[in-house]
Amino acid sequence: MTKRAVVVLGMHHSGTSVVARSLAVFDVYLGDDLMASQPDHPKGFWEDNRITATNDRILTAHGFSWRKHGFDCNRVKKHPAYRQIVRQAAEDVRSRFGHAPLWGFKDPRACRLVPFWKEVFQRIGADASYIISVRHPRSVAESLRAKYGLSLRAGYTLWLEHMAAAIRDTQCDNRVFISYDRMLDDPKCELRREAVALNLDLSKINATTGRTFIKSFLDQKLRHRRYEGYQAANGKPSHDLYSAAFTLLDAIAADAIPEEVFSIAWKTLLEMGQR
């Protein structure tokens, strides 16, 4: 039997923890070495410590952290230790997740390292699917400013860079876009979208695992801020690149446009933004 991996991608503070926890509804194994919860994150991060450490190790080796924009995964492959890191990551994942026919992980850092992880998956013989968590960039930027002191502009830049990399590098793969806000507002709908897109067991939604997630785990208090429309750093309505990017992402996360239309529009948008 071919083993399957489900990877949750998305910018930090964009709802990836909630989306990752939703995978437990479908018996996706997330490992037994998860990052501990914190006072400002009481429901847990649902993030594997060793996978996160691997991603941090790669970023650090190239002079980056998750807070620094401009990272290019293509440069990673030129590093002398690259092949060794791939082998080590594959051995680690195989030893800890190899028993599970359906497993997965979440780490926002992986947005910029999808090509690396694809080589790991190929080495261990796993078919990977992806969930891309969508949240309003202002909500993300405000959260980053409150916790880390980052400027709103830095938050917007990092949000778009993470999303652009995740979208580009999973374009030919099985994937689904999940809205963090809609997951909190209508979890059954979003769980169904996950199940249908990723060929997971729909019956689990109404079973004990689904009810526990909806009734016990989800909490509106998890969401400290929400923006319906886009506003720039000065609080005024904006129609810039970030606004257009979120509009497209929100549309595909609501199944309002097909993947083909989204991909063309997204590529055009980014090309225009680089001019």
Model confidence pLDDT, tens digit, residues 141-197: 999 999 999 999 999 999 999 999 999 999 999 999 999 999 999 999 999 999 999
C-alpha 107/C-alpha 11 separation (Å) is 9
CA atoms within 13 A on the CB side of 167: 27
Above pLDDT 70, what percent of the chain? 92
> Which pLDDT belongs to residue 272?
86
Instruction: Using the structure block, give the residue that is written with the tokens 């689990």.
Output: 204
CATH assignment, 3-228: 3.40.50
Band (pLDDT 50/70/90 cuts) for residue 219 is confident
Portion of the chain with pLDDT greater than 90, in percent:
81
Instruction: State residue 222's pLDDT score.
Output: 65
* HSE (side-chain half, CA atoms, 13 Å) at 72: 4
Q: What is the pLDDT of residue 274?
A: 78
Q: What is the pLDDT of residue 101?
A: 93
Distance CA 10, CA 131 (A): 8
Rounded Cα gap, residues 196 and 40, in angstroms: 33
Give the type of residue at 107. Answer: D
Residue 104 CA to residue 90 CA, distance in Å, equals 14
Residues 53-69: tens digit of each pLDDT = 999 999 999 999 999 99
Does 121 have pLDDT greater than 80? yes
pTM for the full predicted model? 0.92
Residue 242, both tokens: 């970030």
Intra-chain end-to-end CA distance of the chain, in Å: 47
Tokens of 187: 């979890």
pLDDT attached to residue 80: 87
Confidence tier at 233 by pLDDT (50, 70, 90): very low
- Band the pLDDT of 229: cuts 50, 70, 90: low
Which pLDDT score, from 0 to 100, does residue 236 have?
47
Query: pLDDT per residue over 18-29, tens digit each?
Result: 999 999 999 999
Written in H, E and C, the secondary structure of the chain is CCEEEEEEECCCCCCHHHHHHHHHHHCCECCCCECCCECCECCCCCCEHHHHHHHHHHHHHCCCCCCCCCCCHHHHCCCCCHHHHHHHHHHHHHHHHCCCCEEEEECHHHHHHHHHHHHHHHHHCEEEEEEEEECCHHHHHHHHHHHHCCCHHHHHHHHHHHHHHHHHHCCCCCEEEEEHHHHHHCHHHHHHHHHHHHCCCHHHHHCHHHHHHHHHHCCHHHCCCCCCCCECCCCCECCCHHHHHHHHHHHHHCCCCCHHHHHHHHHHHHHHHCC
The residue type of 179 is S
